[in-house]
Amino acid sequence: MKFATPAGENPIDRLSVVGRPVPRIDGPRKVTGTARYAYERHDAVSNPAYGWIVGASIGRGRVVSIDTAAAQAAPGVLAVLSTLDFAPLAPGFRTTVHLFGGAQVQHYGQAIALVVADTFEEASAAAHLLTVEYEVAPGRYDLAAEAATAEPVADRDAPDYPVVDRIGDFEAAFAAAPVTVDQHYTTPDQTHAMMEPHATTAAWRDGKVTIWTSAQIVAWHRPDLAKWLGVTEGDVRLEAPFIGGGFGAKLIAQCDAPLAALGARAVGRPVKVTLQRPLVINNTTRRAGTHQHIRLGATRDGRLTAIGHVSLNGNLPGAFAEAAIAPTRLFYAAPNRYLTMKLAALDLAEGNDMRAPGEAPGLMALEIAMDELAEKLGMDPVALRIVNDTQVDPREPDRPFSERHFVECLRTGAERFGWDRRNPTPGAQSDGKWLIGMGMAGGFRLNLLLPSAARVRLEVDGGLTVETDMTDIGTGSYTILAQTAAEMMGVPLAAVTVRLGDSAYPVSAGSGGQFGANNATSGLYAACVKLREAVAARLGIDAADAEFRDGRVLSGDRSVALAEAVREGPLVAEDGITYGDLDEQFVQATFAAQFAEVAVDGFTGEMRVRRMLAVIDSGRVINPTTARSQVIGGMTMGVGAALMETLAVDVRHGTFITNDLGFYEVPVHGDIPHQEVVFLDYPDNKSSPMKAKGIGEIGLCGVAAAIANAVYNATGVRVRDYPITLDKHLAGLPRVA
């Protein structure tokens, strides 16, 4: 099915199942331990061996030799795979690193050996017996030190934008503006910190391999694995039915999957491999830190006349730049713009996708700058954003937004949060020893459209079986796909069985970039349309006016049980969604208004978030329960970004020293207060037949800046270097009586 014109009324609009707050249908499996994750496939393999990956202990250079004799002689050891015995694995999809093979070391923690043994403990112990000799080369590990070498680069995911994006005459407009902001902001390197580390179980049979792995997008992993293993894609079956979080870290294959498969082939047994947390951090991908220079010029009534945004970050040669300028392109109206990204070469683990890539760090800076501009203007921060709302693409004024209700997000949020009680004078409100502040920020994230397919089968008992390689990374994919099928075919939710994450199923959009839910359900919608046609044909009913409801098919005066259509055997339909150019005719995006109240201890500088509110404009909400979970998860992640999270770099050796969850701090339950989420109800008929848009990322966008602005309102100390830790404002705190 090609979606090329705005959606009209369709069966989803009935909203008898879709749009309802349904608990996750996979919940019982998760709480009873019957949801099998990649490392737990005891049901699929027997007598597995265990692999332990050894990472390089230098930041750049080459491996001269690896003495494996002691490890091979250790108890239980079955094989030792040395990087020197393999040709380099070619870089995979959306990446530039060699995961294994060859002598070159591109970054600290790069996999250089796999020890396979009968038990996990034996593999770990033997791995520590390897003796490795290196030739160390000078490395580039400090972004500030390499800034002068940075070059302007294109946006990997928006190549149509010029490398230096100019509209109007920014320099003249900024110089002439009566009110300006000219500031620098930094965001640190961050890690995804998902609960389940990268993990794989692999088993060979008759020259074919089955790989159970933690993959967000099955179809992105499978071709690379086939290439690395020297087999055809048809010889690789990949399964990922349950994933314990990803946040972008599992979009692309990491070293655990090919090494598990190589190890299993070497020992003739299934092999299980998981990355220990320091290897997750130093071996896989990260969100690259940024240095951002933002300049805003405005008239005295708050209208922006000039926006300048230059973002710098560092990555491996040939890798991509974190597109922190992405939200600035489209968020606010201004006739004069200067936007560009610069990339410096660093020899650190690869910077790549992490939840809301571009928008998350970009808004951490832009939305502080907007707060600073509001203060200079003596204007309310909410009012400033309303004045600068735009309903069209600033670069292409003839290209409107499909649905943009950002102003309503702002006004609804201000009313619900009690924004009128905020004292605009920083450091002026207290509660005993606590300094109290309120802050807000806007959120923006593009809606991405990707092809997605599914297969649906009407069984002889009247039940439905849905099959697609779509994944569920804790987001609720099982549930919303079941809701979609139930709505389309007019059956109870309990009659739907959903099977996910298997490369034997039709290829879906997968999970990531908040594109999964809208595209995957749209692909299933297309398959259900085809199944409805098949049912109608078997019953001798015109599909065009057939209604599927309560387990029956209605047409005119006829009412036939759905089960009648499968009296002679099940019916199967397979189809997918593809898209025309509606996303080119219209800007499709999601929006948020984020509000936060914080308390800062006037003596110690300790910060506590007291209240949070998100108002979200994201099209039709398929399931309010799972959608709210996504948003409050994003809000929680925003607390970490604002106040805690940083990958500290040892610039001498190129390693991240905050390399486990003891030193890399993330929020815990005690850090998170009451969180309120409000969804606006504006289905977007230009997005898909579901009229939905993404939610997984917009819940994070703007959160950190809202907290940062609240800390400033509480203390009067402006911190522009994330995370905002107490040492950065302690000396400037106002006196507390």
Q: What amino acid positions are annotated as catalytic residues?
A: 697
* Amino acid code (one letter) for 58: I
Dihedrals phi, psi of 710, to nearest 5 degrees: -70, -40
Q: Are 141 and 315 a contacting pair, CB within 8 Å?
A: no
Query: What phi-psi label fits residue 268: left (phi over 0), alpha (psi between -120 and 50 degrees) or beta?
Result: left
Q: Are 18 and 621 a contacting pair, CB within 8 Å?
A: no
Tokens representing residue 669 in the block: 């339950």
Query: What phi-psi label fits residue 174: left (phi over 0), alpha (psi between -120 and 50 degrees) or beta?
Result: alpha
Integer Cα distance of 649 and 355 in angstroms:
21
Listed in sequence order, the residues at least 6 apart from 555 whose beta carbon sits closer than 8 Å to its beta carbon are: 536, 541, 542, 545, 546, 547
Q: Are 298 and 373 a contacting pair, CB within 8 Å?
A: yes
Alpha helices by DSSP H, listed for 91-140, are: 120-127
ω into 241 cis (within 30 of 0) = no
Tokens representing residue 288 in the block: 């690259």
Per DSSP, which regions of 103-150 are E strands? 104-105, 111-117, 131-136
Which of 499, 485, 625 is CA-nearest to residue 562? 485
Q: Are 536 and 490 a contacting pair, CB within 8 Å?
A: no
Integer Cα distance of 650 and 331 in angstroms:
36
Alpha helices by DSSP H, listed for 161-203, are: 170-176
Integer Cα distance of 440 and 708 in angstroms:
9
Integer Cα distance of 329 and 527 in angstroms:
36
Mind giving me the DSSP string for 275-293? --HHHHHHHS-BBPPEEEE
Integer Cα distance of 700 and 694 in angstroms:
12
Q: Are 650 and 142 a contacting pair, CB within 8 Å?
A: no
Query: What phi-psi label fits residue 366: left (phi over 0), alpha (psi between -120 and 50 degrees) or beta?
Result: alpha
